[in-house]
Amino acid sequence: MRKPFIAGNWKMNTNSLTSVGLADHLASGSIELEGHAVTLAVFPPFVYLRAVGKALNGSNIAIGAQDVYFEPDGAFTGEIGVSMLKDIGCNYCLCGHSERRHVIGETDELINKKVAAAISGGILPILCVGELLKEREASQTNEVVTRHVKEGLAGLSAEKLAAVTIAYEPVWAIGTGLTATPQQAQEVHDFIRNLLARMYDKNLADEIRILYGGSVKPANAADLMSQRDVDGLLVGGASLKADDFLAIIRTAL
């Protein structure tokens, strides 16, 4: 059985006061969640990670980074390495979020290095994959997702794959209010799981969690979570409102 995983990606939002306020609200709201088998994590901006981690200390909500660099240390101005994330208590990091692919220009090759470095350094990566609207309209969804998954995981042993979570986030659904229907999500999740089974083996593929992301709200979370291969949700906008994020978490219990 795959344990559900609800993650909140705060993107470039909040400040030193509101990030801790949101974390405090989540920490008190999460008391009712104790004892439930669910993985929870939030991904605040780098500069607030430590304060948010402190506010969430003692709760069952972990912290993760929105990105990471693959080199261990050195002259890489502006970058943050895996050991720095470990040092401040991070458990997870996003790799290849669509905004990093399409706004910042990250390639599959770079994303692959980040995934591999994260695992080697003890941080669990969430590899984000997903097609643009024009790619969906041209029936290229499977092709794009195959490239993101194969190249993102290139060279990873089965043992290392076990540390990975995949997030399917169709770019046309991110921040647009357009959500993939539960059937559309299930179709792609099933496709990804079969792809993993071909790349590795079926038992391992059955253990890997595949999250859906893209305009997840309290109103659509339960339907998405009801799908067989939707193992969790990566929530952007709605994770900035504690009550909405807690309502989304409840759909996973």
Which of the residues are catalytic?
A: 97, 169
Among positions 211-240, residues that touch ligand PGA (CB under 6 A) are 213-216, 234-238
Residue 94 pairs with which residues in a beta bridge?
126
DSSP 4: P
Q: Where are the beta strands (DSSP E) in 171-239?
A: 210-213, 232-235
CA neighbor of 249 nearest in space, from 19, 1, 34: 34
Give the shortest CB-170-to-ligand PGA separation in angstroms.
10
The number of residues that bind ligand PGA (CB under 6 A) is 13
Structural tokens at position 113: 């290095």
Q: Which is nearer to ligand PGA, 95 or 234 (CB)?
A: 234
Give the shortest CB-237-to-ligand PGA separation in angstroms.
4
Q: Which is nearer to ligand PGA, 64 or 237 (CB)?
A: 237
Residue type, 34: E
Q: Which is nearer to ligand PGA, 90 or 216 (CB)?
A: 216
Q: Which residue is nearest to ligand PGA (CB)?
A: 236
The dihedral region occupied by 35, where left means phi > 0, alpha psi between -120 and 50, and beta the remainder, is left
Pair 198, 161: CB distance under 8 Å: no
- CA separation for the pair 73, 82 (Å, rounded): 9
Among positions 160-179, residues that touch ligand PGA (CB under 6 A) are 169, 174-175
The pattern of x and - marking residues 24 through 43 that bind ligand PGA according to CB under 6 A reads --------------------
Among positions 62-121, residues that touch ligand PGA (CB under 6 A) are none
Q: Which is nearer to ligand PGA, 13 or 140 (CB)?
A: 13
- Contacts with ligand PGA by CB under 6 A lie at 9, 169, 174-175, 213-216, 234-238
